[in-house]
Amino acid sequence: MITPDIPAAIGNTPLIKLRRASELTGCTILGKAEFMNPGQSVKDRAALFIIRDAVKRGALRPGGVIVEGTAGNTGIGLALVANAMGFRTVIVIPETQSEEKKSMLRLAGAELIEVPAVPYANPNNYVKVSGRLAERLAATEPNGAIWANQFDNLANRQAHIETTGPEIWEQTSGKIDAFICAVGTGGTLAGVGAALKKRNPRIAVALADPMGSAIASWVTTGELKAAGSSITEGIGQGRVTKNLEGAVIDAAFQIPDEEALPVIFDLLEHEGLCLGGSSGINVAGAIQLGKHLGPGHTIVTVLCDYGTRYQSKLFNPEFLRSRNLPVPAWLERRSAIDP
């Protein structure tokens, strides 16, 4: 089979059995390998749907500009799809995000604007900066400029309603008891959750939330409350985005980094899976959910992006020590060989 272009290569990712997580719980725990998308993350799907929707609405014409505020992965997806379809990208990113993601964005030709990481309530927050910039460019760019606005643009959730969710249903032949993942924009959790519950309302949908995020408290008490912090990137949320609004979430687990990181390290050491931090929160969440449900259940989660995207942080003993986080012995040995 010939794939005509890179946008057409997005999606249809494998569902991989996670051996240790399954053994530990007596469940079948499966990971949707989103790092196998062309931009190496789950966000390629949202990027493609957002661009397609803007083209369909006539907001974007060849040569037009796509502006977005992103922790990086959505920007990488947007930049690659934009290159394939003849658009330009301007990406606003908090400076705290990994250098690997920033250099990939520059490599893909995105114009990168780094801004200090400040809360959403601050007018200088990266999302708000990108919105204002898009408004200015829309008035001056001859071929149009759009704000991708992944947090509140429902084309994001639609990508998961139309692709990720149905793929999981078909790959498991409908034999799935629960789905769990973290929330950045909420597109993945709300979209996959809706698609699965439409096919079988008994499928449980659960949230794996990092420390510092307010969504676990919102799910369990109805109040947005956050405490603590996490080194994971691209997840955690302090408000109910449009993509999250109306999502049916049956349970929530808050996962500290100290619990997620050993999962990431074990997956690389024993299963050959090199994953980013949000995948660690997701798999650790799936293990918690498996223990809660009991043996014999099938649980699906998301392997959001590839670990090399965070080599300077997650897989850097010095960085981990500086945050008082665990460093596996094998990582000390490997990084000693490859300075």
Binding mask 176-195 for ligand PMP (x = CB under 6 A): ------xxxxxxx-------
Q: Which residue, 67 or 183, has its beta carbon nearer to ligand PMP?
A: 183
Counting contacts by CB under 6 A, is residue 235 touching ligand PMP? yes
Binding mask 257-276 for ligand PMP (x = CB under 6 A): -------------------x
We find the least distance from the C-beta atom of residue 141 to ligand PMP, in angstroms, to be 26
Residues that bind ligand PMP (rule: CB under 6 A) add up to a total of: 19
Q: Which residues contact 214 (CB under 8 A, 6 or more apart)?
A: 224, 225, 226, 237, 238, 239
Taking CB atoms, the residue at the shortest distance from ligand PMP is 234
Token output for 188:
């993945």
Q: Which residue, 66 or 297, has its beta carbon nearer to ligand PMP?
A: 66
DSSP H helices, the chain, are 19-25, 43-56, 73-85, 99-107, 126-140, 155-159, 165-171, 187-199, 215-221, 257-271, 277-293, 317-322, 329-337
Question: Is the C-alpha dihedral spanning 102, 69, 55, 41 positive or negative?
Answer: positive
Stretch that binds ligand PMP, among 120-128, 203-211, 229-237, 250-258 (CB under 6 A): 229-237
Give residues 35-54 in contact with ligand PMP (rule: CB under 6 A): 41-43
Q: Which residue, 144 or 310, has its beta carbon nearer to ligand PMP?
A: 310
d(CA 70, CA 151): 10
Q: Which residue, 11 or 234, has its beta carbon nearer to ligand PMP?
A: 234
Catalytic residue check, 43 = yes
Beta-ladder partners of 24: none
Rg (CA), the chain: 19
Q: Which residue, 235 or 331, has its beta carbon nearer to ligand PMP?
A: 235
We find the least distance from the C-beta atom of residue 157 to ligand PMP, in angstroms, to be 8
DSSP 82-119: HHHHT-EEEEEEETTS-HHHHHHHHHTT-EEEEE----
We find the least distance from the C-beta atom of residue 182 to ligand PMP, in angstroms, to be 6
Q: Which residues of 178-198 are buried (b: 16+ CB within 10 A; e: fewer)?
A: bbbbbbbbbbbbbbbbbbbbe
User: Which of 73, 89, 130, 149 contacts ligand PMP by CB under 6 A?
Assistant: 73
Pairing, β 178-181 against β 111-115:
unpaired
Question: Is the C-alpha dihedral spanning 124, 126, 130, 133 positive or negative?
Answer: positive
Catalytic hit among 17, 32, 43, 313:
43
We find the least distance from the C-beta atom of residue 154 to ligand PMP, in angstroms, to be 12
User: Which of 10, 30, 48, 71 contacts ligand PMP by CB under 6 A?
Assistant: 71
Stretch that binds ligand PMP, among 14-22, 55-63, 131-139, 230-238 (CB under 6 A): 230-238
We find the least distance from the C-beta atom of residue 86 to ligand PMP, in angstroms, to be 25
Token output for 56:
């369909």
d(CA 45, CA 19): 27
Q: List residues near ligand PMP by CB under 6 A.
A: 41-43, 71, 73, 182-188, 233-235, 276, 278, 304-305
Annotated catalytic sites, by residue?
Answer: 43
